[in-house]
Amino acid sequence: MSFLRRLYQKVIISVDIDVYTCKVRIAYHNNNNLSQEEKTYKTINGDFPIEAAKYIRRIKNKYPFTYIATMSRSKNQGLIAGNKINSFEKFNISAQSLAIILISKKWFVYINKEDIIKDKNKFSKVQGVDFIFSPFVLIYEKIKDRVNEIKKLYILQEKGSCTLLVADSNGVYFGDYKILEQNKFVEENSMQEIEEIDSTSTNIEFEAISDMDENIIIKDFDDKDTIQDKSALNDLSVANTMINIIKDTLNNFYKDDRYASDFIEELLILDGCGISDSSITHLTNNIMLETQFLRIDTCEEIEKLAKMELKL
């Protein structure tokens, strides 16, 4: 490829990091031509792998118009229905500590400012990040053409997290973000935590994700049968966790008079972690909702959001 073509070619690097893996997707945009490549790296404690950083730096050095995009994993993020900033008061949330965006003039997404700084620092190995997207926006962009008058629960399910959103054709009513820590359900009530943070200190320290057991990791890679058995157990654990999350979410949604809590009739799960068919069957048999699954590539969805921002 000539120097001039490289000079004007736009490249989007989508990065999806969780406690287990870092997936990197490179999309080369040149007029109407598009080519892609993907790489996956192992992570420790969700840190940015040095090999992934080296790979991205090589791309950035070669292509001047390179943009890096990722999705926030902050446990201090959420969604508020309404289009007035005083909507946050109803949930006892101080807006001063948050980065807030109004979506479709109807609802807000927010992320704690300190967590955004942490995300930016994580990408310091590659000279920064251009876009940090909310998982609620990712869900909405994926399902906005599917919504109708029926109120549904939408879930973005990944290995390390679960994002929930309730919507119909009239609007978005509820959102929550939960962290799954080493296949254990850790319910992070972001509204309560942000309120506690605001009332105690401006120097915010968040709990680090527990260290992964290196011995277990090595054993898994050495034994194919163990890998399959552990994968099946992990899938079942994820399915059971999702069942608990869905039941708790519906219960809270119906009981909390701050929400327009009409009956939710259907569930759509955006599967970003490749849940097995047996675990899907187990989940659908234990949820009293009409349930659909849609497998997605989270990096690809991040790329789409970046393209929207860049008007590509």
DSSP label at residue 101:
E
Residue 232 tokens, joined: 């099946």
Q: Please report whether residue 121 resides in a domain.
A: yes
Tell whether 201 is covered by a domain: yes
pLDDT band, residue 233 (cuts 50/70/90)? low
Each residue of 154-176: pLDDT tens digit? Answer: 999 988 889 999 999 989 999 99
The CATH number that applies at residue 260 is 3.30.420.40
Whole-prediction pTM value?
A: 0.80
DSSP state letter for 128: -
CA–CA distance, 25 with 10 (Å, rounded to integer)? 14
List the domain range (segments joined by +) for residue 244: 77-310
Give the pLDDT of residue 109: 96
| Inter-CA distances, 46 with 17, 122, 163, 165, 200, Å | 6, 10, 18, 24, 27
Which pLDDT does position 3 carry in this prediction? 53
- Please report the beta strands in 72-106, taking only residues with DSSP state E, as ranges in sequence order: 77-81, 98-103
Number of domains forming the structure of the chain: 1
Count Cβ atoms within 10 A of the Cβ of residue 305 and give its class: 0-12 exposed, 13-18 middle, 19 or more buried: buried
Of all residues in the chain, the percent with pLDDT exceeding 90 is 52
Burial of 148 (0-12, 13-18, 19+ CB in 10 A): exposed
Res. 202 pLDDT band, cuts 50 70 90: very low
70 in any annotated domain: no
Query: For residues 258 and 90, what is the distance between their CA atoms, to the nearest angstrom?
Result: 8
Residue 86 resides in a domain: yes
